[in-house]
């Protein structure tokens, strides 16, 4: 090759090298944001036991996921699997989150008895703050203080929350006194619910809530303790004749729910995505969950009235024997906590104090 051609070739090589370097700089410049975003996009599976139309997914989880997707500029995405679409039975959801079968699950603490001995205090009818908002914020206080941390060591809890409280829905017997309950077969919402029902002289029957409509229709059950919010998607308001609550609208306790993420999956997220997730699972999230459930409850009660169902609110005198059953459940919870070596009295006192602190946030 002649010197002139060698020079020309060298110039071409230098030009090409400069172009490659320039392209490399262009490619590297966004790696702190868009380039890494493409490499760090995360789709999280969300598994639960209710239908896609239930309040849990349609009004609670989907809007939450949309906010996270927006805050992460599309780097976080969510794929929902309602009605146990990923397989298994509702009592297996906690294990699925723990073992990584699903990234995120929403479940009932009572489906895995004994796993949440501290947090189960919020199932007690004597603890429930009369609204989901009040009780959710009380739970959040105890979560933030670490009082409940040992219960959730094997997963990453995103939210522990309750619904607005359980009314008693019966298919044939209007419940106006505790005598009306005696001998009835009633679906039990939790272990402490079993104690409450037994103290009322009724027969507790344990089953996941999706099985409830068929059990009521076939007479396997005479009634169930669930909120109206759940009674709507399960069509219990179409099956039941009557719905009972206590004086002042007090309910028969509540059910405590868990929105949890597989621990390894959470810890594998990039730091900035973990920060976004954390920012959207704080006290405001607990407050919003409470508002959603507290808003839906009276709406479904109106639907039941429009169907001609009877809404029964007991007098203080008629409520008193039920409150005695509440105390029996509390005493048994304390005894069981002591058998486990837990200071149940301290947990119970902390829960009641937290509920009292947030009492002014109850809906009017």
Residues 136-174: tens digit of each pLDDT: 999 999 999 999 999 999 999 999 999 999 999 999 999
**For residue range 220-263, what is the model confidence (pLDDT) as tens digits?**
999 999 999 989 888 999 999 999 999 999 999 999 999 999 99
The secondary structure of the chain in percent helix, strand, coil, rounded to multiples of 5, reads: 55, 15, 30
* Mean pLDDT of all residues in 75-103: 97
- pLDDT value of residue 11: 45
Alpha helices in 87-161 (DSSP H): 93-99, 132-145
> What's the pLDDT at 209?
85
pLDDT tens for each residue of 51-71: 999 899 999 999 999 999 999
Sequence-distant (≥ 6) Cβ neighbours of residue 301 within 8 angstroms: 228, 243, 311
The 223-226 sheet, strands edge to edge: 203-206, 185-188, 223-226, 167-170, 242-245, 310-313
The architecture in CATH of the region 38-164+255-294 reads 3-Layer(aba) Sandwich (3.40)
Phi-psi region of 184 (alpha: psi -120 to 50; beta: other; left: phi over 0): beta
Residue 357 has pLDDT above 80, yes or no: yes
* DSSP one-letter code for 47: E
State how far the Cα of 177 lies from the Cα of 19, in Å rounded to an integer. Answer: 86
pLDDT of residue 233: 85
Q: What average pLDDT does the segment 270-281 reach?
A: 97
Q: Distance (Å, rounded) from C-alpha 261 to C-alpha 44?
A: 9
pLDDT of residue 133: 96
The whole-number average pLDDT for the span 36-56 is 82
Instruction: Enter the tokens of residue 33.
Output: 């944001």
Compute CA 242 distance to the chain's CA centroid, rounded to the nearest angstrom.
27
Round to whole Å and give the CA distance between 188 and 195.
9
Burial class (CB in 10 A: 0-12, 13-18, 19+), 249: middle
Q: DSSP per residue over 154-192, as a string?
A: TSEEEEEEE-S-PEEEESS---SSGGGTTT-EEEE-SHH
Query: Nearest Cα to 134, choosing from 109, 166, 164?
Result: 164
Lookup: tokens for 200: 């009322």
* pLDDT for residue 4: 44
Query: Residue 275: what pLDDT?
Result: 98
The domain spans of the chain are 38-164+255-294, 167-253+309-361
Tell me if 38-164+255-294 shares its fold with 167-253+309-361: yes
pLDDT at 16: 42
In the chain the first and final C-alpha atoms are separated, in Å, by 92
- pLDDT band at residue 40, thresholds of 50, 70 and 90? low
Report the CATH number of the 167-253+309-361 domain.
3.40.190.170
Is 28 a residue whose pLDDT tops 90? no
Average pLDDT over residues 5-12: 42
| pLDDT exceeds 90 at position 27 | no
Query: What percent of the chain lies above the pLDDT cut of 70?
Result: 89
Within 10 angstroms of residue 14's Cβ, the number of other Cβ atoms is 10
């Amino acid at each position: 090759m002649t010197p002139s051609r060698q020079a020309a070739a060298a110039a071409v090589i230098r030009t090409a090298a400069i172009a490659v370097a320039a392209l490399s700089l262009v490619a590297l410049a966004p790696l702190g944001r868009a380039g890494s975003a493409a490499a760090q996009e995360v789709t999280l599976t969300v598994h639960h036991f209710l239908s896609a139309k239930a309040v849990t997914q349609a009004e609670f989880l989907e809007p939450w996921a949309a906010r996270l997707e927006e805050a992460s500029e599309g780097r976080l995405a969510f794929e929902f699997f309602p009605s146990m679409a990923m397989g298994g039975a509702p009592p297996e959801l906690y294990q699925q989150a723990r073992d990584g079968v699903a990234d995120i699950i929403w479940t009932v603490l009572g489906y895995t008895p004994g796993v949440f001995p501290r947090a189960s205090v919020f199932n007690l009818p004597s603890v429930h703050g009369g609204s989901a908002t009040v009780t959710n914020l009380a739970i959040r206080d105890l979560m933030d203080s670490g009082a409940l941390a040992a219960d959730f060591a094997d997963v990453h809890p995103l939210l522990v929350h309750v619904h607005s409280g359980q009314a008693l829905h019966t298919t044939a017997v209007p419940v106006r006194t505790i005598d009306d309950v005696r001998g009835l077969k009633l679906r039990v919402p939790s272990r402490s619910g079993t104690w409450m029902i037994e103290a009322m002289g009724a027969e507790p029957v344990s089953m996941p809530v999706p099985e409830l409509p068929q059990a009521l229709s076939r007479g396997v059950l005479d009634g169930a303790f669930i909120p109206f919010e759940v009674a709507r998607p399960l069509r219990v308001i179409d099956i039941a004749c009557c719905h009972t609550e206590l004086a002042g609208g007090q309910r028969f306790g509540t059910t405590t729910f868990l929105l949890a993420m597989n621990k390894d999956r959470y810890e594998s997220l990039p730091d900035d995505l973990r920060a976004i997730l954390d920012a959207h699972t704080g006290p405001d999230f607990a407050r919003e969950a409470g508002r959603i459930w507290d808003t839906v409850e009276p709406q479904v009660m109106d639907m039941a009235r429009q169907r001609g169902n009877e809404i029964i609110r007991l007098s203080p005198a008629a409520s008193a024997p039920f409150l005695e059953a509440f105390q029996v459940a509390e005493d048994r919870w304390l005894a069981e906590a002591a058998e486990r070596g837990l200071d149940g009295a301290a947990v119970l006192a902390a829960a009641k104090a937290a509920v009292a602190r947030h009492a002014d946030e109850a809906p009017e």
